[in-house]
Structure 1
């Protein structure tokens, strides 16, 4: 249906003048039913066009949000890839560091082995000293014996021999202590050397090699293995992120194309909607009474009344002209949807409700009647929609519609219209995902010959 409506839009636009010419050529007594039927068909066409445009607009917003989400996801994927690259770089450095640590441990092992060899030489020297001390003690013992045999002549030599014997005994005891200590130290350092020395390659396989490995090298091997696994996982994940990034780029491109297609669809639906509105306005402007005529006449009279009320306020000095045309919309903090105030708000709250509320009684089809300045700002709404915000976005959107700027397509067109009347068809957001398709008749509000805004009268089909 949407494609057929798009195709119809240019032909309908071209057919508007032709339809007007045909209507003008029809005799007055026959023109009334023709124009009436034309207005009915245009009204139905406008309703469908507004519905289609609203759906396309919603889809466009969703596509735009999804495109932004896709771009954000692509950025996050790229961030993850960069982090994984850093991880890979660090793990490579870690592997090198483990290798250096292994070399350092091996070097320490070699040094410890040298220390063991030196200690063994010291132990051998201590053993030699012990042997010499033992021999010295024997010689001193023999000398002592001979000195005793020599009697008084050998007494001095005997004293020296005894001293040498005692000294040799102490040397022998010290050498034995050194040898005992060296043996214990040799055992301890040997164990350390075996612990930190790198194992030789084992032909029996990795199991035998693991069994022969020292604790230090086994720990180093475990660290190296884990670091290698981390590096491999980071590389694999980086590859996956690269593929995902490529897929996200394709998705983003497709979504941009979808967004552009929806932009075109919105433009086409806008053209179709304008055609239907032109047909409805032509029917209403032809002088033939249609179902929209009462609303158009009522909004024109009410707009003139509002203009007179505002001029009266100026004459009475209730407000200055600059304040009445104030465009410095001051945001009200903490409001969502955003609300604003202007210097003419107190006057609007006092003068507009009687006119706006009276218009609601025109028909049970009337939804609202509001005065908006030329920028779409609505100072005061109908009492039903003039409720203070509660902090619930859905409820506030539907019920707190005063002090807000409605600069959408329909609101801005009605506010800026300076023709005798404007008739539009649109889909209104009621909040909470609810929408209502309706018509809106608008008439300009003029104060001292200056366009102030427009009075908007919305009613159901």
Structure 2
């Protein structure tokens, strides 16, 4: 594929062929004209400059493609980051709000806790006072029990005395009766004594009767005192038990109050910690809001940067298009263009042969192949050229170092067939069929559209495949007769292609 410097006769003829694109800057005029040597020197310098510019433009395109891939990836990541940052900001606001509410609730709990602790202290004081009162009542009940015991003993002494008096009264009454009998025997001499005896008897009866009442009431008093003593003893026991219970409860409640005080200290620490967390959450919310704002700005700038990269790529492609119009000769790029032109000629001849056989090669009524996914289509001519076109495309691709594909597309981006490696039988697996079943598909990506929209000359486009490979796509329009049919495309790894060609 290495093209040697050619020679042609005459300076004028060489310039004419250069202007028509029929000669390269490596060609020279075979003449004795004094202009021949200066022209050769000028063309050599011009060629070197154009080669340098082309190599630089291709490097720019390759780097632009890489940069475009990176900017797209960064743009997508920036978009994801912006979305996540926005969601994080929303959640941050919610957390900050909940944190504020939590802090307020904790403060309310702490205030209520302090109030309850004060109530507990007051209750403890009341319990201590109750314990003291119960202790005093228990002591008083013990004294009262002793008094009741003394009262019982005194009542029993009264009862004994009353019984003694009653016995004496009975004896006195008997003596009075005896005295009355004796006085009656004495006659008138004993009348006075009889009166006395009678009065003594009456008095004895009254004493006996009164003493009986005293004994009766004394017995009742003794019963009441005994009952009172029993109840007093029970009350004393109950008071002792109550005193012990109150004492134990006071000790337990005192421990409870101490635990309450310890919890109050911990509650103060919780309040302090929650306040710090709330402050941190507020600061984090502000930081997250700033991050969300910065992420949005980064996303906007990535969009602008992506547009600028596309503009640079468009400019570099336009520059390559202009440089391709001047054939420098003896460069890898010229070799690739020669291959492209040969492929275009072969495809054009194949289509012309089909046209002569009555095949409608301009048919654009694409009929979808049933159950194809991604969609694939038939036309009136694809079956007629399928086998021969595949052979042509495969032959060129096999001879192309670093080649990715060779392709023929019509004005609608329809590819009637593809290289064999991309024309495998469909499996129904979308990922597999998208990558390996590319024949009879319609391509509407920007590279294919650019190739179709190109009016004349070689168009060089550079892009990144979904596999991460950098592809340099060279295309030229394909005309059948006076009508535009489509375009012929070649995709290569230009760095590998250039390295291999330079070795030849």
TM-score, structure 1 as length reference: 0.69
- Please, which moves more after superposition, 144-153 or 172-181? 144-153
Q: What is the alpha-carbon distance in structure 2 between the residues aligned to residue 402 and residue 99 of structure 1?
A: 78
RMSD: 4.4
1:247-291 CA-to-partner distances (Å, cap 9, x unmatched) read: 66446535644652453343133123213214424769xxxxx75
Q: Is residue 162 of structure 2 the alignment partner of residue 147 of structure 1?
A: yes
Q: What is the alpha-carbon distance in structure 1 between the residues aligned to residue 158 and residue 441 of structure 2?
A: 128
Partner residue, 1:360: 394
Q: What is the alpha-carbon distance in structure 2 between the residues aligned to residue 452 and residue 329 of structure 1?
A: 26
Residue 158 to residue 346, structure 1, CA distance change in 2 (3 Å): farther
User: Shift of the alpha carbon at 1:171?
Assistant: 1.9
Q: Is residue 483 of structure 2 the alignment partner of residue 443 of structure 1?
A: no
Q: What is the alpha-carbon distance in structure 1 between the residues aligned to residue 130 and residue 356 of structure 2?
A: 116
Query: Superposition pairs for residues 386-401 of structure 1, below 5 Å?
Result: 386-387=423-424, 399=436, 401=438
The structure number with the bigger radius of gyration is 2
Q: Identify the match of residue 93 of structure 1 among 80, 94, 105.
A: 105
Q: What is the alpha-carbon distance in structure 2 between the residues aligned to residue 345 and residue 422 of structure 1?
A: 28
Q: Identify the match of residue 232 of structure 1 among 259, 265, 276.
A: 276
Query: Superposition pairs for residues 337-416 of structure 1, below 5 Å?
Result: 340-344=374-378, 348=382, 351-362=385-396, 364-365=399-400, 367-378=404-415, 380-387=417-424, 399=436, 401-402=438-439, 406-416=443-453
Partner residue, 1:299: 344
Partner residue, 1:202: none
Q: What is the alpha-carbon distance in structure 1 between the residues aligned to residue 150 and residue 160 of structure 2?
A: 15
User: Shift of the alpha carbon at 1:96?
Assistant: 1.9
User: Shift of the alpha carbon at 1:93?
Assistant: 1.2
Aligned residues: 399
Partner residue, 1:27: 12
Partner SS state of residue 229, structure 2:
helix
1:37-65 CA-to-partner distances (Å, cap 9, x unmatched) read: 28974754653343243133223223313
Q: What is the alpha-carbon distance in structure 1 between the residues aligned to residue 159 and residue 166 of structure 2?
A: 11
Residue 304 to residue 455, structure 1, CA distance change in 2 (3 Å): farther
Structure 1 runs of 4+ off > 6 angstroms? 310-315, 327-331, 389-393, 395-398, 449-452
TM-score, structure 2 as length reference: 0.64
**Where does structure 2 lack aligned partners over 5 or more consecutive residues?**
1-10, 26-45, 168-210, 329-333, 499-504
Query: Superposition pairs for residues 267-306 of structure 1, below 5 Å?
Result: 267-281=311-325, 291=335, 292=337, 295-296=340-341, 298-303=343-348, 305-306=350-351
1:361-391 CA-to-partner distances (Å, cap 9, x unmatched) read: 2472265333435453546421112346898
Residue 118 to residue 430, structure 1, CA distance change in 2 (3 Å): closer
Partner SS state of residue 144, structure 1:
helix
1:132-189 CA-to-partner distances (Å, cap 9, x unmatched) read: 5345434433333333323465453453243123212212211211221221122023
